[in-house]
């Protein structure tokens, strides 16, 4: 029996969307592919509040994170770190031989605009990486406010990992001035894993032309060349694109504002529940709208809870990440999940724990 996913990626995919993956295949150099690509493009631009091109990566999110730092850093990159994924972005940057420094704060503390200002004042950097929603800690960093600070430094590009936020919360790419914003589709998009998207600013594309290429597969200049023909440089995950196209139609049918409001509503339900029975891991004011990282104040066995939920209820939540594995557990409330499903999950947890 299928175990319904309440994990912060991969997330549950609706059967109607799974069916789209089995659409008869088309050739990626045929006009019908370009038509599909051209159909998807404006829908992604609406979702991201941007007029920038939105590229499609046949990879998980990590590939798009790698594309950002290998193409868009000419001088030195500042990696803002307050969780596992922001830390990984620093490792990706360093691992590709891109000059960089990590600025790290405690994992339960949000990155604040003043911290970023302090770092950028040094004049050392021409790019900064920031994770919108730290999936490891259930923390939402104040991207809009940080973007205001970054704007004061005209040579500094803002690169945002919005993996577990995009399609669940509003991201005003152009208004905030984000140069690169990426997400894999297995989180709030509620699609199967294996595809990532990223909106890239015009000035980012200009800089990419001047940075010596560090990657062949993740080459933004080349991707843009093909983008103008409504194509991708290599064979893309065509089945995914059928599913993405259908899913974007469903987002727009639900209404973007309504979709974001549903995520807020589910977040409130889980946060209220967590405050009543446990506590919430990150500092207040920065709680994620798409997942909640519950602090295990009762000292329960997280592993046992997860096993019981799977065996007895066929639902799966996630344990804590890395160092906070048994100290926390994570409930995702993102994608196509509905409030009534969240209430059912919480009732199951209460029954298992005898709350």
Q: What is the C-alpha to C-alpha distance for residues 116 and 134, in angstroms, rounded to an integer?
A: 17
- Give the residue with the Cβ less far from ligand PLP, 47 or 68: 68
Are residues 279 and 299 in contact, defined by beta-carbon separation less than 8 angstroms?
no
Is the preceding peptide bond at 113 cis, omega within 30 degrees of 0? no
Distance of CA 311 to the CA centre of its chain: 29
- Give the residue with the Cβ less far from ligand PLP, 53 or 168: 168
Strands 315-316 and 4-5, bridge-based pairing: parallel
Interface segment toward ligand PLP; rule CB under 6 A; list 156-164, 237-245, 248-256, 320-328: 156-164
Residue 292 touches ligand PLP, criterion: CB under 6 A: no
Residue 82 touches ligand PLP, criterion: CB under 6 A: no
Q: Which of 161, 176, 191, 331 is in the footprint of ligand PLP by CB under 6 A? A: 161
**Residue 134 beta carbon to ligand PLP: minimum distance, rounded to whole angstroms:** 6
Residue 85 touches ligand PLP, criterion: CB under 6 A: yes
User: Of 69, 67, 92, 56, which Cα lies nearest the Cα of 195?
Assistant: 56
Interface segment toward ligand PLP; rule CB under 6 A; list 74-82, 109-117, 160-168, 233-241: 160-168
Q: Which of 7, 11, 50, 62 is in the footprint of ligand PLP by CB under 6 A? A: 62
Residue 168 touches ligand PLP, criterion: CB under 6 A: no
**Residue 154 beta carbon to ligand PLP: minimum distance, rounded to whole angstroms:** 27
Stretch 175-204: interaction string toward ligand PLP, x if CB under 6 A = ---------x--x-----------------
Which class for 112: exposed (0-12), middle (13-18), buried (19 or more C-beta within 10 A)? middle
Chain contacts with ligand PLP (rule: CB under 6 A): 9, 60-62, 85, 131, 133, 135, 161, 163-164, 184, 187
């Amino acid at each position: 029996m299928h175990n319904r996913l309440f994990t912060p990626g991969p997330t549950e995919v609706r059967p109607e969307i799974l069916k789209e993956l089995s659409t008869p295949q088309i050739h990626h150099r045929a006009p019908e592919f370009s038509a599909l690509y051209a159909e998807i493009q404006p829908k992604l631009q609406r979702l991201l509040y941007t007029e920038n091109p939105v590229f499609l990566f046949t990879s998980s999110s990590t590939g798009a994170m790698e594309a950002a730092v290998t193409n868009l850093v000419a001088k030195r990159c500042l990696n803002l770190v307050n969780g596992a994924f922001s830390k990984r972005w620093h490792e990706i940057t360093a691992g590709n031989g891109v000059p960089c420094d990590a600025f790290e704060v405690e994992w339960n503390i949000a990155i604040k605009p003043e911290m970023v200002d302090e770092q950028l004042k040094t004049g050392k950097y021409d790019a900064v990486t920031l994770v919108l929603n730290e999936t490891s800690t259930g923390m939402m960093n104040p991207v809009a406010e940080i973007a205001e600070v970054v704007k004061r430094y005209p040579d500094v590009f803002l690169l945002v990992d919005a993996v577990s936020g995009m399609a669940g919360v509003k991201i005003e790419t152009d208004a905030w001035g984000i140069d690169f914003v990426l997400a894999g589709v297995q989180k709030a998009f509620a699609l199967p894993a294996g595809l990532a998207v990223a909106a890239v600013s015009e000035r980012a594309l200009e800089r990419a032309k001047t940075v010596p290429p560090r990657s062949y597969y993740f080459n933004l200049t080349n991707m843009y060349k093909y983008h103008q023909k409504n194509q991708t440089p290599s064979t893309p995950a065509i089945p995914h694109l059928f599913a993405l196209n259908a899913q974007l139609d469903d987002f727009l049918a639900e209404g973007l504002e309504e979709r974001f409001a549903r995520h807020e509503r589910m977040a409130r339900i889980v946060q209220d529940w967590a405050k009543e029975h446990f506590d919430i891991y990150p500092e207040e004011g920065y709680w994620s709208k798409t997942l909640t990282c519950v602090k295990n104040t009762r000292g329960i066995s997280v592993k046992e809870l997860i096993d019981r939920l799977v065996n007895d209820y066929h639902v799966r939540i996630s344990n804590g990440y890395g160092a906070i594995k048994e100290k926390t557990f994570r409930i995702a409330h993102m994608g196509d999940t509905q409030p009534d499903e969240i209430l059912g999950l919480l009732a199951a947890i209460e029954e298992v724990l005898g709350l």
